[in-house]
């Protein structure tokens, strides 16, 4: 007999795994709610051109794409941003600005499964559309910080590295024609991962004296590493009004983050340029500062994307967090994510003669909002011990015993599982309120 297994890069979620995943989702939703973001969703299956329009034909190598029975070319979404852009473009004239939306959805990428990267994963996306100023960038970065804190991460365990593609554009204009700057930024994106000699050779493709260009880039990076004061001194000393004006936007962003109480989680790092060409301004990435120092999230400003999808010119900024790397980190740190739901009450039934009374009680308790479980198997007489063992195994908070004596007297016996104390109560209209008090305060001494 053949044994079926899940496909490579896809996960099963047993109850304990599902509980951990849902705990993560609750943390993200609560963080977004506190900052005034509203939740949205979109189809998991989209027209193929929605993704090729944003990322080019090369994205197809990373997609689960196929032709459906209607002859349409479709793909499982690899990210949420194109769907968001379509939704906003469709109602841009009627939406109240700024739009502050978030989503938690499953995404799919056809790539080789590896540590931290799977073919099926969940993403928390948060975006602000309709506000061009640095305040929107600060709000998104602050939500990213609060989202990671809500998961259980603490100061010193992660950081947000901020950069600015506009600063790079204004800086590189003296060396490279504007159309070629994104290609140079792709080289800078690998600045710490390749030897300086290799980087110099690549820069030589764009400017004759690559050594001077490389030295100036290193000076920019070193100024940023020396802190905010030295960075702004360097920017102020450049022979560029565009660089100096943009420095004011950066200063406003950093001041806003200070006001929001998250500045200690943030540092400016010009090496962060984000490989995607549609980013137009500030960009940022979250990294864990312990263990393997992997990236946890990323985002930035993408002011031209809504227009690309047929909508008006709407400024936008946002980020995405994947569940895989965050879950891996929390497991390494042994941080709890969420527990399997446990019953408030487990009904211990004396025998089949008492089942009718037990089922009636289960219905009333559930209608009152309590979680109730009970034995489904055919009962034999005097199986109290087996049922109490089950109540303990499922971690029920209370065991409610309905034996022949209790039913005959119109009573129940309530056992508080943690304290191992028990007492009899009337099975009448007062029982639900009594049980709620016991769940909060325990049995009276």
Question: Please, are residues 401 and 387 in contact by the beta-carbon 8 Å criterion?
Answer: no
Residue 371 predicted with pLDDT over 80: yes
Of 38 and 239, which is predicted with more confidence? 38
Q: How far apart are CA 364 and CA 402, in angstroms?
A: 15
At 237, the pLDDT band (50, 70, 90 cuts) reads: confident
The string over 207-223, giving b where at least 16 C-beta atoms fall within 10 Å of a residue's C-beta and e elsewhere, is beebeebbeebeebbeb
φ/ψ of 273, rounded to 5, equals -120, -10
Percent of the chain with pLDDT over 70: 99
Report domain extents, the chain. 15-174+240-332, 345-439
- The model's confidence at residue 2, banded by pLDDT at 50, 70 and 90, is low
- Compute, in degrees rounded to 10, the torsion defined by CA atoms 322, 328, 329, 330: 100
Topology (CATH level 3) of domain 15-174+240-332: BirA Bifunctional Protein; domain 2 (3.30.930)
Fold of domain 345-439: Rossmann fold (3.40.50)
Confidence of residue 444 (pLDDT cuts 50, 70, 90): confident
* pLDDT of 249 above 60: yes
User: Which of 57-66, 284-293, 359-368 has the highest average model confidence (pLDDT)?
Assistant: 359-368
Look up residue 194 and give its DSSP letter: S
Distance, CA of 351 to CA of 358 (rounded, Å): 10
Angle at 421 between CA 416 and CA 427, to 5 degrees: 65
pLDDT value, residue 305: 86
Residue 100 is inside which H or E element, if any?
strand 99-108
Q: How far apart are CA 295 and CA 140, in angstroms?
A: 17
The one-character DSSP state at 315 is -
Q: What is the mean pLDDT of residues 178-202?
A: 88
pLDDT of residue 52 exceeding 60: yes
Cα 289–chain centre separation: 18
Cβ–Cβ < 8 Å for 273, 185:
yes
Residue of 156, 155, 147, 206 lying closest to 178 (CA atoms) = 206
Q: Model confidence at 77, in pLDDT bands (50, 70, 90)?
A: very high
Q: What pLDDT is attached to residue 158?
A: 96
The two tokens of residue 39 are: 């939740």
Q: How far apart are CA 284 and CA 273, in angstroms?
A: 8
Confidence (pTM): 0.89
Using alpha carbons, list the distances in angstroms from residue 273 to 122, 298, 324: 24, 11, 23
Local structure of 66: helix, strand or coil: strand
Using one digit for the tens of pLDDT, what is the confidence trace for 113-146?
988 889 999 999 999 999 999 999 999 999 999 9
Whether 1 has a pLDDT exceeding 60, the answer reads: no
């Amino acid at each position: 007999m053949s044994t079926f297994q899940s496909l490579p890069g896809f996960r099963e979620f047993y109850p304990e795994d599902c509980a951990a995943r849902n705990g993560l989702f609750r943390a993200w939703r609560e963080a977004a709610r506190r900052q005034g973001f509203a939740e949205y969703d979109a189809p998991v299956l989209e027209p193929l051109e929605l993704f090729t329009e944003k990322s080019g034909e090369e994205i197809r190598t990373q997609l689960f794409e196929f032709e459906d029975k209607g002859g349409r070319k479709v793909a499982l979404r690899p990210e949420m941003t194109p769907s968001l852009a379509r939704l906003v473009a469709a109602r841009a004239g009627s939406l109240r600005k700024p739009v502050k939306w978030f989503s938690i959805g499953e995404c799919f990428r056809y790539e080789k499964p590896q540590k931290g990267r799977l073919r099926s994963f969940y993403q928390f996306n948060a975006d602000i559309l309709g506000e061009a100023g640095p305040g929107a960038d600060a709000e998104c970065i602050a939500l990213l910080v609060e989202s990671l804190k809500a998961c259980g991460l603490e100061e010193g365990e992660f950081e947000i590295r901020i950069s600015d593609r506009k600063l790079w554009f204004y800086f590189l204009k003296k060396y490279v024609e504007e159309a070629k700057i994104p290609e140079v930024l792709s080289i800078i994106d690998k600045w710490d991962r390749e030897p300086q000699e290799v980087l110099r050779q690549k820069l030589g493709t764009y400017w004759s004296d690559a050594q001077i260009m490389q030295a100036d880039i290193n000076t920019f990076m070193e100024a940023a590493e020396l802190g905010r004061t030295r960075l702004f001194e360097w920017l102020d000393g450049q022979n560029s009004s565009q660089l100096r004006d943009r420095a004011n936007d950066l200063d406003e962003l950093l001041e806003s983050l200070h006001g929001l109480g998250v500045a200690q989680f943030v540092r400016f790092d010009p090496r962060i340029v984000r490989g995607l060409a549609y980013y137009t301004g500030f960009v940022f990435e979250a990294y864990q500062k312990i263990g393997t120092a992997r990236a946890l999230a990323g985002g930035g400003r993408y002011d031209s994307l809504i227009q690309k999808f047929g909508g008006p010119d709407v400024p936008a900024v946002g980020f995405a967090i994947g569940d895989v790397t965050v879950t891996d980190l929390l497991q390494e740190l042994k941080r709890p994510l969420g527990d399997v739901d446990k019953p408030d009450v487990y009904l211990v039934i004396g025998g089949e003669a008492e089942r009718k009374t037990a089922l009636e009680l289960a219905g009333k308790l559930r209608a009152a909002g309590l979680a109730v479980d009970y034995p489904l198997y055919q009962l034999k007489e005097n199986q109290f011990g087996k049922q109490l063992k089950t109540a303990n195994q499922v971690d029920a908070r209370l065991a409610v015993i309905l034996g022949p004596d209790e039913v005959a007297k119109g009573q129940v016996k309530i056992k508080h599982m943690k304290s191992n104390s028990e007492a009899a109560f009337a099975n009448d209209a007062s029982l639900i309120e009594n049980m709620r008090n016991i769940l909060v305060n325990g049995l009276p001494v």
